[in-house]
Structure formats: C-alpha cells, structure tokens
C-alpha cells in the first residue's frame, strides 16, 4: 500500500464515524478556541496599549506626585520608613506638585526637549449648548501649549492652545470629536468660534480635535481640553490636587541624561535635602507599557494552562476512541494483513486517523478563537488581529496530541495476528 492509499483509507474511516469524530473534534476545538481566543484578545489589547502610549513613545517620561501607600493596621508605608527621623525631613513628603513648582521646573529645565504641565479636571462634566447637553461623562483635562503634541492629539480645525491662553486664564477650549458631533454634526469647521458651557461655565471653542479612538474602555474623543489655569479654577480646586509634568526628548539616547537633569532640577524645587528620598515619581512611557505587558503575560499563562488541560483531556478521549476503533475493526485489520498489508501500513493508517481528527479540531478551534478574540478587539476599536505564532503553535500542539494519542492504538493494531483477527467476532 502506498502512503496515498493509506491516507485515503484513514480519511474515509474518519468521515464514516461522524458522531465519534465530531465529539472528539469538539473537545479539541474547545481547548484551541480558549488558547487562540484569549491570546488574540491579548494581542488586540497590546496593540491598543501601544497605540495609546505611542504619542510619547520611548522618548518620553512623566513626573508625577508620589502618593503615600497605605496598608491595613498602621498608616502609610512612607510614615513607617521615616519613623525616628527628624520632623523637617518628613515635612516635604506626601505633598502634591503645585502649580508654582511645575512652572518653576518648566522654566528651569533647559534640556533639549518639549515640556508640558497638566492637571486632571473631571471625568463627569456636563457640556451644554443650544438647548442640548451631554451625559455627565465628559472628561476635562487641563494642559498648556504642548499638551496636545505630547499626548497624540491632532487639531483637525482651528488652533491649539497657546501660552497667552494659559497665562491669562481666558475661557477657551479644544473639544473632542464626540463632543463636536453631539452639538455641531460632522462639519469639523462648525465648532470653532462657538461657545459651549462646561458645568454651566461658558468656554469659547478655538479648535476641534481629530478622532483618537478609545483606550482601556474610555473614549478619548469624549473630552474637552482647556488650560490648566482654568481646570485649577473651575474643575479641580482641591488643595491636594497635583500637577503632572511630561517631557519628550528628540532621541532615545538623550533619555537618561534628561531624566538625570530633571531629577537634579526638581529636587531643590520640591525642597528636598541630600538625605531625603524623592517625593515624586518619574515614569518612562515605555516602562508603563512594559508593566502592562507583564500583567497581560499572566493572562497568557492562564490561557495556556486552560488549553493544555483541555487538550490533555481530549488526548485521553481520542486514545480511548482509537482503542475502541482497533477492537471494532479487528477483522478489517486481519484482511489488510492477509492481502499483503504490512505492520507499518497499519500503524500509519491509525496514526493518520488520529492526526486528522486532531487537526480538524485545530482548524475549527483556530477559526473560532480568532473570531472570539477579535470581538474584544472590536470593542477596543483595534484592527483585525491574527496571532500567527499561536496559530502555528496550535497546529503543532494538535499534531503532537494526535500523534501521542494514536501511537499506542496504532502499535496495538499493527501487532494483531492476521489469522486470529480474521476469526474475531
């Protein structure tokens, strides 16, 4: 018998036992769907993370307030670490970054870079105009003339905020695409020059922003950007509210130097002496992405474990089915041997049957997994994702499962005595 004949016979046998084959294929497909589906969703989330942080890229970092970390039964860790030290050492810890400190840093930092200071305003503002109003879910951010560039926003029409807007504190703003469509439709020119009210405070629109999509479940287009002076006055007057400072250098080779100089400049501004630790944190943009990717890796491990456990069960089930097939087809095996079939032909036939069943499960599982995973991508507004490395891994794993599950039944079938097999009832 040629390999082609053996393969044809194996395929016909698989097709002839549809119920048995279907159950086994379904079990294998379930494991592969879990494996491919979760990893496709993770690939979509990773793509969204990279898009979200690409505005700053690997050449940006953020200086932010270090909040005291509280633990049950004993206050903040920061206080514990400083216990027994001088009172003046503790006085500078736990204080937010003030407007004066952020402006002092921006003026003093002469490293070749772009610097932006900003402050969070609100996540539940209401925007109204001409008798219409939004739901209380509009985000308000306060920035300066560099905020849009450093955060990946593009002005579709009008102008950006400028230094005079920030210094004078005049009520001007930029609106996101969702807010613009709510009041002015699809015409990108219509909003500019019009007045809207944010929490009943009138603001003149000087520019409309291009669509930026969403990230982590939040629409970046359902937002209003104004100056940090306005945010401080109208939307976040909390005494403990802190400013953040963003820095972007033109070349990644300058990052370490920029961070070192930023630290050296900001420590005296924060009134820290040489013996005190930093009461601010510097986050690299790429390190934030790396941290998120590490967290996602745990989900990947969980997906692999789910897939392996399911496939292990499928392999046991497939082996049992193949052993039953050997018993049911004992006469057929004896006939094949009687007409000249060799032990190798019998082994190959049963191995091929097992591998065919496994690969059918792999194909169905891969297709379903990609569809399920891309549903998550659709919710995140990402492009269609196919995790090719996991697709290849799925095919290889299922081939090995089929080979392993069919090996013992194939050997058992090949060792049958043809005379005893022909007499088997």
The arithmetic mean of pLDDT across residues 264-274, rounded, is: 91
Q: What pTM does this model have?
A: 0.59
Could you tell me if 219 and 301 lie in one domain? Answer: no
Cβ pair 208, 158 in contact under 8 A: yes
More confident residue, 351 or 205: 205
pLDDT given at position 5: 64
* Confidence label for 179 from pLDDT (cuts 50, 70 and 90): very high
Q: Which of 31-35, 133-137, 236-240 has the lowest mean pLDDT?
A: 236-240
Residue with tokens 């943009």: 285
Q: Is residue 387 in some structural domain?
A: yes
Q: For residue 206, give the 3-state DSSP assignment.
A: strand
- Do 368 and 244 lie in a common domain? no
Question: 215, 233, 248 — which closes off a domain?
Answer: 248
Phi/psi region, residue 70 (left: phi>0; alpha: psi -120 to 50; beta: rest), is: beta
| Residue 186: pLDDT over 60 | yes
Alpha helix ranges (H) inside 206-284: 228-230, 255-269
Q: How many domains does the chain have?
A: 2
| 194 and 141 share one domain | yes
Q: Under a CB-based contact definition with an 8 Å cutoff, are residues 278 and 66 in contact?
A: yes
Kindly state the DSSP code that residue 20 receives in the 8-state scheme: H
Q: Are residues 120 and 235 in the same domain?
A: yes
Where a domain ends, among 187, 216, 248?
248
Q: What is the mean pLDDT of residues 119-140?
A: 92
**Same domain assignment for residues 140 and 240:** yes
Whether residues 240 and 331 share a domain: the answer is: no
**pLDDT of the residue at 266:** 94
Confidence of residue 140 (pLDDT cuts 50, 70, 90): very high
Q: Do residue 333 and residue 389 come from a single domain?
A: yes
Spatial CA neighbour of 29 closest among 373, 372, 360? 360
238 shares its domain with 298: no
Token pair in block for residue 403: 């080979």
Closest alpha carbon to 65 in 230, 259, 241: 241
Which of the 8 DSSP states describes residue 263?
A: H
Summarised one tens digit per residue, pLDDT across range 31-43 is: 888 888 888 887 7
Let me know: does 367 contact 32? Beta carbons within 8 Å: no
224 and 321 fall within a common domain: no
> End-to-end CA distance of the chain, in Å?
26
E strand intervals along 94-238: 114-125, 127-129, 132-133, 138-143, 155-158, 172-175, 195-198, 201-209, 214-215, 218-219, 223-227
pLDDT value at residue 355: 85
Residue 130 falls within a domain, yes or no? Answer: yes
Q: Which of 7-11, 281-285, 359-363 has the highest mean pLDDT?
A: 359-363
What percent of the chain has pLDDT above 70? 81
Residue 232: HSE in the Cβ half-sphere, 13 Å Cα cutoff: 21
Question: Quick one: the chain helix, strand, coil %, rounded to 5?
Answer: 55, 15, 25
- End residue of a domain, out of 214, 248, 282: 248
**Distance of CA 277 to CAs 114, 271, 342, Å?**
26, 11, 79
Other beta carbons less than 10 A from residue 108's beta carbon: 13
The reply to whether 58 falls in a domain is no
Question: Do the domain assignments include residue 146?
Answer: yes
Domain annotation covers residue 163: yes
Most confident of 110-114, 293-297, 313-317, 396-400: 110-114
159 and 44 in a single domain? The answer is: no
- Residue 204's pLDDT is 95
The mean predicted confidence, pLDDT, of the chain is 81
| d(C-alpha 68, C-alpha 71), whole Å | 10
The length of the chain in residues reads 425
Residues 43-63: tens digit of each pLDDT: 777 776 666 555 555 678 899
Does a structural domain hold residue 60?
no
Per-residue burial over 218-238, b = 16 or more CB atoms within 10 Å of its CB, e = otherwise: ebbbbbbbbbbbbbbebbbee
Is a pLDDT exceeding 70 seen at residue 95? yes
Residue 413 falls inside a structural domain? yes
- Range with the lowest mean pLDDT among 36-50, 181-195, 219-233? 36-50
328 and 408 share one domain: yes
- Give the domain range for residue 351: 3-53+290-422
Radius of gyration of the chain (CA): 32
Q: What's the pLDDT at 243?
A: 93
* 319/412 same-domain check: yes
Characterize the bridge pairing of strands 172-175 and 201-209: parallel
Task: Supply the pLDDT for residue 389.
Answer: 85
When comparing pLDDT for 274 and 346, which is higher? 274
Rounded Cα distance between 77 and 81, Å, is: 6
Q: Is pLDDT larger for residue 127 or for residue 256? A: 127
Residue 403 lies in a domain: yes
Greater confidence (145 vs 217) lies with 145
More confidently predicted of 242 and 414: 242
Query: Which are the contacts of 324, defined by CB distance < 8 A and separation ≥ 6?
Result: none
Residue 234 DSSP symbol: I
How confident is residue 395, by pLDDT bands cut at 50, 70 and 90?
confident
142 closest CA partner among 221, 201, 228: 228
Provide the 10 A C-beta neighbour count for residue 388.
Answer: 9
pLDDT of amino acid 234: 92
Which residues neighbour 95 within 8 Å (Cβ) at sequence distance 6 or greater?
A: 65, 270, 279
């Amino acid at each position: 018998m040629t390999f082609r004949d053996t393969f044809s016979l194996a395929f016909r046998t698989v097709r002839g036992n549809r119920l048995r084959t279907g159950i086994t294929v379904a079990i294998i497909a379930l494991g592969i769907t879990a494996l491919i589906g979760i990893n496709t969703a993770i690939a979509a989330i990773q793509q969204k993370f990279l898009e979200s942080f690409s505005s700053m890229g690997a050449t940006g970092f953020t200086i932010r307030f270090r909040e005291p970390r509280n633990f049950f039964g004993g206050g903040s860790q920061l206080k514990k670490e400083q216990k027994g030290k001088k009172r003046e050492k503790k006085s500078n810890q736990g204080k937010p970054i003030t407007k004066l400190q952020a402006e002092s840093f921006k003026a003093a930092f002469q490293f070749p870079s772009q610097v932006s200071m900003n402050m969070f305003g609100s996540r539940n503002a209401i925007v109204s105009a001409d008798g219409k109003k939004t739901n209380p879910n509009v985000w308000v951010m306060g920035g300066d003339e560099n905020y849009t560039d450093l955060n990946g926003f593009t002005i579709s029409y009008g102008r950006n905020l400028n230094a005079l807007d920030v210094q004078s504190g005049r009520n001007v703003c930029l609106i996101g695409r969702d807010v613009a469509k709510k009041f002015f439709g699809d015409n990108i020119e219509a909003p500019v020059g019009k007045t809207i009210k944010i929490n009943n405070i009138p603001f003149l629109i000087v520019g409309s922003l291009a669509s930026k999509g969403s990230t982590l479940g939040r629409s970046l287009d359902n937002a209003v950007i104004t100056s940090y002076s306005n945010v401080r006055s109208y939307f976040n007057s909390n005494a403990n509210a802190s400013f953040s400072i963003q820095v972007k250098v033109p070349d990644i080779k300058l990052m370490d130097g920029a961070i070192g100089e930023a630290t050296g400049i900001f420590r005296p501004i924060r009134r820290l002496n040489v013996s005190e630790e930093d009461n601010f944190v510097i986050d690299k943009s790429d390190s934030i992405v790396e941290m998120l990717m590490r967290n996602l890796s745990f989900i990947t491990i969980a997906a692999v474990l789910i897939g392996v456990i399911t496939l292990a069960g499928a392999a046991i089930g497939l082996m049992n089915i193949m052993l039953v097939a050997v018993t049911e087809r004992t006469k057929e095996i004896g006939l094949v041997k009687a007409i000249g079939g060799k032990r190798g032909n019998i082994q190959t036939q049963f191995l091929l049957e097992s591998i065919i069943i496994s690969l059918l499960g792999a194909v169905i599982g891969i297709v379903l997994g990609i569809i399920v995973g891309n549903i998550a991508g659709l919710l995140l507004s990402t492009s269609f994702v196919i995790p090719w490395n996991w697709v290849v891994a799925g095919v290889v794993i299922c081939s090995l499962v089929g080979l392993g599950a069919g090996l013992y039944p194939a050997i058992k079938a090949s060792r049958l005595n043809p005379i005893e097999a022909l007499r088997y009832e």
